[in-house]
Structure 1
């Protein structure tokens, strides 16, 4: 039986008069309801965001909270262009990266509602020249199920999603820029910004103020019908009728009884990151914007689970799962008696900190505090023993504790029964097995990645292949240097750049000039 987190929370607009001292958007007016019910939640959210900003070294960050068609609170802090001291504000323009996908999803649903787009029609029936298997439909593109065995497994595929732009342009006989302007930007009252790298998948330049306006327009029903919005909030299902982490252009899941639709954007590390979270049953949303990609990258949001984001969970905990006037304020992440603190809080409230603990552990790994991550993940296992989690499995491969690595291998075996072609799970399982000396089993997992069918040759696909070749080279080097050189040659002959390529070159040089090197741990290191 599902636990329901419904507190009959009054309108978030009640918080406004208490926070007008902050940087607040237009339409900030006093409410007839007492402000004290939400003042503490706003203050706690603001403090938690600033704490996360400091812990993750984010130069500048802004956010807007939207409820029932109104931006009720917004603030920016930090610097926009360090070392320049210009403030990061609600009007700082940056690329929203893959949050562009959510806007494209809205446009696609508008065209479905008008009868101009058929979700289950082959994408090539609109644009024959698309480099896709004939059986890939528009729905497959919108749900990231166009790769691998089509329709069976979510595989985050940004380049194939981008093909929706060509479909939309073919239907409208207009540029994607003009379509987004006509269907989203102008109706929402957003200020258009030059977006030279715009695609259906990424590249739109916007601001926190404008994205707040977009969310407000969603609430007012000006962009989609109630039925269309319901579809965007409902997880799609695979051809085997298993739930997917996506709806149609948005991610969609249920978090401790609360329906959540969301999107994230992860641009170049020092350019931007964006996070959009909407609670459709409350018409309550937040948009968070930063000039760093760490809103998502440490937390593996591309794996399709928003609960590992401490930014998202702070919003949910304080505004959806807390009672009015009694915000559930998290304990210090590195509290010396964290287990006891959680005991007290989880006795008093129905909210559970399991996923936040995993998110905090991912923060520790990102900031190279491995012992802290190991302690938190062991606490997860002791408090919530029946949870097998893909992000925990991913994290296990980066731990020093061999006992936790073995637990990760056990988890991976269970996960791969359900998701035998999931490349993240195959990679993490291969690395775990490699680290424990189970080389033949590890090799089989990396070879399965290389043999995955129907992979679009994009950045992620190239990385997975390169990581697999590197691991195979490491395992081959002690006994078969020629095989190791071949694997390294595959990396160097590919389009992979950066540290992955540099590491392959260093290993090849070591094999050539200094004999066989000792095995390097981890395909991604």
Structure 2
């Protein structure tokens, strides 16, 4: 009996030791550490994060506050407005209508409008893919015209947009925490909105909904929606593949959702950005893995300029990719101010990571001028390591370089000329490909205006104002205002 007792005690001891030696999930630990760092860096009050792989949840964490004033933490019951991720839901409804033969993507958009407001050559598929502006079907410009898809859904179906959302998605998937945000009577479980200005301040909620935005949801329901896409239960495989494919080669958008190639991987993604909320849904179909993030200020999305169609400008997306897809857990996400690491492996990802941080630092420089220096240091490092920047220059890099000049100007830090050559080179390179690109024209117009060269500035601002088939936007108004003031 004593011998048996000794054996039992020994087995219990061995079992306890083996439990203590259970390997730590390095991916989750590193990802959590980086998310904490990103949350603090961008001063996001509350953050909800989930990863699904092969139909199973492998990571779900809640960080920070749903309500700072009442000290209520974000948890599984917290809801978030998801802004433009609504577009993916609308894309699904459109594909359902196509499957039901109630709609053709090749029909003119004007057929569905009370009054024809766009050119007859603009089809439903052009509005759905953000290719309706400029040269129709040939250029991607993220556009408010996507809201016209509301009219398409309603006229093709004979039902209201809210009825179609309920009938085709919310009811069949039993999404109990998802709804279209109409008014303040629905906000009881929604995370409080915040805005970063002079510190973290109380924000506001954008009410109303359309095909462009307006859904409120949580991690649990978005995981159900994601699984329905993965297993083709909400739309068929052919519809999904069309929705997830670029409208044309090298374009970053399909039908209601972004997609791009990076490191031999196809990334399908959507983002949301209100003034006081932001969100990201990122899928790697070949790996059957999906990331979802929800936040109660705009800084999950805004600093990365996701509107330009490159999710690898987002440090949140890069953290997920390096830890869960590319097996680069040991590579640090953030570079320290006093020293910058060298690319030991995967130089393409390394360059993206440095540029992503430089872009973020330029955004945050509006709150802390010292970050202007950090952004400049990172950019100088990249230009030294990879001097032929024409190989990797894009609109986000031009934005970064131009924004540093804006920060220096508005914060009265003196003229900032460090990257003037790059601004001119990259701006002209981009405009050779797309002469009417409103963003590139804005950056070069502002560049010359600040230099006092009104004649050259005028050329770029006139390009914006005189461009045909563009809806009015902030850049149109700013260009016209400058022209009015400099006649």
Q: TM-score, normalised by structure 1?
A: 0.76
CA contact under 8 A between 1:233 and 1:260: conserved in structure 2?
no
Aligned to 1:278: 283
Mapped to 1, the partners of 2:265 and 2:458 lie a distance apart of: 41
Residue in 1 that maps onto 2:132:
146
1:187 to partner: Cα distance: 2.8
Q: Which moved more, 1:427-436 or 1:174-183?
A: 427-436
Between 1:184-193 and 1:101-110, the stretch displaced more is 184-193
Q: Deviations over 1:403-425 (max 9, x none)?
A: 41221111110110001111111
Gaps of 5+ in 1: 1-33, 477-482, 484-525
d(CA) in 2 for partners of 1:178, 1:71: 30
* Equivalent-residue separation in structure 1 for 2:126 and 2:179 (angstroms): 30
Counterpart Cα distance in 1 of 2:142 and 2:54 = 31
Post-superposition CA distance 1:252-286 (Å, at most 9, x none): 10012110011111112x3x111110111112111
Which residue matches 1:190? 175
Q: Which of the numbers 231, 244, 250 marks the counterpart of 2:251?
A: 244
* Residue pair 1:70, 1:216 contacting (<8 A) in 2 also: no
Aligned residue pair count? 423
TM-aligned CA deviation for residue 106 of structure 1: 1.5
Q: Distance in 2 between matches of 1:284 and 1:35?
A: 25
When the two chains are superposed, the root-mean-square deviation of aligned CA atoms in Å is 2.1
1:210 paired to 2:217: no
Give the structure 2 partner of residue 453 of structure 1: 468
Q: Counterpart in 2 of 1:343?
A: 343
In 2, Cα distance between equivalents of 1:127 and 1:409: 42
Q: 1:402 to 1:194 in 2, by over 3 A?
A: closer
What is the CA distance between 1:194 and its match in structure 2? 5.0
2: CA distance between counterparts of 1:154 and 1:69? 32
CA 421–318 in structure 1, closer or farther in 2 if over 3 Å, else same: same
Q: Deviations along 1:232-267, whole A, 9 cap, x unmatched?
A: 232111xxxx53110111111001211001111111
Aligned match for 1:264, one of 258, 265, 271: 271
Counterpart CA distance in 2 for 1:108 and 1:136 is: 17
Alignment correspondent of 1:232: 243
Match of 1:306 in 2: 311
Q: Which has the higher strand share?
A: 2
Residue of structure 2 in register with 1:199 after alignment: 210
- Residue 232 of structure 2 corresponds to which residue in structure 1? 221
Distance of aligned partners of 1:294 and 1:331 in 2 relative to their CA distance in 1, 3 Å threshold: closer
- Is 2:262 the counterpart of 1:255? yes
**Unmatched 5+ stretches in structure 2:** 1-20, 183-207, 366-370, 406-415
Mapped to 2, the partners of 1:351 and 1:446 lie a distance apart of 35
| Cα shift at 1:131 | 2.7
Give the TM-score taking structure 2 as reference length. Answer: 0.82
Q: Deviations over 1:75-118 (max 9, x none)?
A: 11111122221111233122111110011112212222332221
C-alpha distance in 2, partners of 1:257/1:342? Answer: 23
Give the secondary-structure state (helix, strand or coil) at the position aligned to 1:246.
coil
Alignment of 1:496-507 (within 5 A): none
- Show the counterpart of 1:12: none
Q: CA deviation at 1:319?
A: 1.1
